[in-house]
Amino acid sequence: MHKGLYIIGLLLLFVACTGDREMRALLDRAEALMEVHPDSAYETLSSLPLKGGELKGSSERAFYLLLFANASYKLGKPMPSDTVFQEVVDYYDRHGNANERMLAYYLMGGIYLTRHEAPMALQWYLDATEQADTLSPDCDNWALTKIYGQMAELYHSQLMPKEEIEANRKFSIYAEKAGNTYQAIRGIEKQLGAYQLMSDTAMILALTDSVHKLYTQADMPQAAASVYPAAIHIHLARHDYPKAKELMDIFETQSGLFDTEGNIAKSREHYYQSKGIYYEGIGMLDSAEYYYRRLLPYGFELDAYRGLISVFKTRQITDSVVSLIPLYERSFNVLENSKHAQAMRQVDAIYDYSRNQKIAQQKEIETINTRYTLYVILIIGIVLFLLLFWIYDTKRRSQEAEVLQLHMEYESVQEQIEIAEKGLQQFKSDALQFEQHQEEQIRQLKKEKNLLVTQLHGLDVKEDDTAMFQTVIYQRFKEKADYWNKFPELTINDWHVLHTEFQNHFPRLYKKFTYSKLTDKQIDIVMLVRLRFSSGDIQRLMGLEKQAVSNYKNRISQKLYNLDSSKKLFTYLTSFYLEEDSEHVKESSL
C-alpha cells in the first residue's frame, strides 16, 4: 500500500516538473523572439493556458509578466496595471540581476507613460538607469539606449530642452557601446529639436554640419542628406535663398525620401512649407501657392493659410485674402486650444505625480511610526518581563490586561491602514475611469474635427446644383423672383450671403469671374444666370429694365468667353469644368 502511494507521488512530481519545463521553454522562446519579432513573442505569451494567473509568487509568473509587458509596450497594446506589475518590480528587486531590474523599472515607466503621467514615467526611467551596471561587460547597453531615448522624447514634450540634450547625449553614448553606429549618430542629430526650442540657430547650423559629416564618414549618404530641413528653414528665414537652394537640392536628390514625382515620405510633409517659402522668396508665386496648398491635406492648415495669405497679398488679390483670413483664424484657435489642452494634461500629470509622492511619503512615515511603536512595545515587554520575573505572582493579571490592550490598539491601527489602502485603490479606479471618459471625449472630438476637415476639403469639387438649390439663400431669391410683390426687398446682406454660398459650391467658376475683371453688378447678374434665373427674374430681383439686363449679359459674355451675344452664356457657364479639364489635358500632353 505504502509502496503504491510512493509510486503515485513520484509520477505526480514528474508530471509537475515536466509542465514547469514546458512553461519555461515557451517563456524562453518568447524572450528570444522579443527584439526582432515582438508580435510573435506576444502571440506565444498569449497562447499560454495559464497566462500567469495561477503562478502568483513564482519566478515563472514574474518572468511571464515581464515579457508580456515588454511585448505589449513594443506593439502599443494594453499593458498590465501598475499594481499588478509592482509585484514584478518587487520580485526582481529581490532576485533579479542588474539588467532584469533595469527592464522592470523601464516597463513600469512605460505603464505610467501610457496613462499620460509623464513625471511618474520620467521618475521610473531615471530609477531604471540607476539599476544598470554600466561597468559590467554584460550590461544591456541597447536597453539603456531605449530608456534615454524615451526620456529625451518626454523632456521634449515637457519643454525641457537642456534635459533633452543630455538624454540624447547619453542615448548616443550607449548606442555606440551597443554597436549601433546609426543610432549613435542619430542621438546627436536628435539634439537639433532641443536647440530649435531654444531658438539657437548658430548651434543648429553647426550641429547639422557635424552630423552630416559623421553620417558621410560612416558611409550613410541618405542619412547624411536627411539632416538638412532645420538648416534649410534657417537660411530661408535669413533670405539666403542660394544657400537654401543648395541644401534643398541635396535633401531632395540624395535623402531617398522623395518618389519620382517629388512627393516626400509620410510624416515629413511639413517640408512643403519650406518649398513654398523658397518659391515665394524668389518671386515664383504660382509654385509657392502650389506648395502651400499641399500642406492642407496633412493637417498644417495654419502654415498653409499663412503662406497663401502672403502670396495673395503680394498679388494684391484682396478677395482671396479676405476669404482666407477666417480660415487662418480658425486654424490658429484650434492650435491654441490644442496647446491649452496639452498644458492642462501636463498640469494634471504633475499634480498626479505630486499626489503620488505625498502618498509615498505618508506611507513611509506610517512605516517609521509603526516600527517605532513596535520598538516601544518590545522595550516595554522586556521591562515588564524583567519586572514580572521578580513580581510574577502579583503583576501577572495586570500584565495580561496591558498586553491585551496593546494588541487591540495594534489591530485598530492595522484596520485603519487597510481601510486607507482600500480608499486609495477606489480613488485610483475612479481616476482611471475619469481619464478613460476624457479620452473617449477627445476621440469623439477628433472624429468630428476630421469630419469637418473632410467636408472642408470636399468643397472644392465639381459644380453642385442640387446642394446650391437647397440653400436657404437660394430659396429666398427664388421666392422673391416668383412672388416679387409679396416678399420684402433683398438686402445687401442677402447678396453677400448669395456670393458666399455660390463661392462655396462653385469655387473655380467664381474665381474666373473675379479674374475676368467683372464689375460687382456683372458678377451679381452672371451668378443669377448660372443659377437658372430668367431675364425676367433678373429684372425683378435687380430692378433693371429689360434692355439693361440684355446689355449686361452681352458684356459679360464678351469678357468671359469672347462671345458676340449672350445666347450661349448659360451653356458656357455650365460647361465650365469640362472646359477646364480639357485645357488641363492639353497642357499635360504638351
Question: What's the pLDDT band for 554 if we cut at 50, 70, 90?
Answer: very high
SS3 category, 258: strand
Higher per-residue pLDDT: 2 or 337: 337
Q: Is the pLDDT of residue 362 over 70?
A: no
For residue 385, the one-letter residue type is F
**β-pair partners for 258:** 264
CB 387 within 8 A of CB 379: no
| Residues 572-588, mean pLDDT to the nearest whole number | 56
**Cα distances (Å, whole numbers) of residue 283 to 79, 122, 204, 500, 512:** 54, 48, 27, 31, 23
CA triple 474-478-481, angle to 5 deg: 140
Question: What is the residue-averaged pLDDT of the chain?
Answer: 80
Residue pLDDT, tens place only, 404-432: 786 677 777 677 767 767 766 775 766 67
> What φ, ψ does residue 78 adopt, rounded to 5°?
-60, 135
Burial class (CB in 10 A: 0-12, 13-18, 19+), 215: buried
The whole-angstrom separation of Cα 234 and Cα 230 is 6
Cβ–Cβ < 8 Å for 220, 212:
no
The answer to whether residue 545 scores a pLDDT higher than 90 is yes
Question: Helix axis angle, 271-281 relative to 229-237, nearest 10°?
Answer: 30
End-to-end CA distance of the chain: 102
Closest by CA to 124, choosing from 112, 132, 133, 140, is 112
Is the pLDDT reported for residue 540 higher than 50? yes
Cα(172)–Cα(137) distance, integer angstroms: 18
pLDDT in tens, 255-302: 899 988 889 999 898 998 999 999 999 999 999 889 989 989 988 888
- Is residue 227 within 8 A of residue 211, CB to CB? The reply is yes
Could you write out the DSSP letters of every residue in 387-398?
HHHHHHHHHHHH
The grid coordinates of residue 225 equal: 542628406
Cα distances from 483 to residues 223, 393, 405, 488, 546, in angstroms, run 71, 118, 99, 10, 18
Q: Could you tell me the pLDDT band of residue 434, with boundaries at 50, 70 and 90?
A: low
263 DSSP assignment: P
CA-based nearest residue to 463, from 575, 557, 560: 575
Which pLDDT band, with edges at 50, 70 and 90, does 148 fall under? very high
* Euclidean distance between CA atoms 278 and 286, whole angstroms: 12
pLDDT 10s digits, 192-205: 888 988 989 999 99
pLDDT digits (tens, 9 = 90+) for 368-402: 566 667 667 778 878 888 888 878 888 888 777 77
pTM of the complete model beyond 0.85? no
The C-alpha cell at 29 is: 522562446
CA–CA dist 128, 123 (Å, integer): 9
Determine the pLDDT at residue 341: 45
Q: How far apart are CA 231 and CA 244, in angstroms?
A: 8
pLDDT given for residue 426 in this prediction: 76
Residue 345 has pLDDT above 70, yes or no: no
Amino acid at 250: I
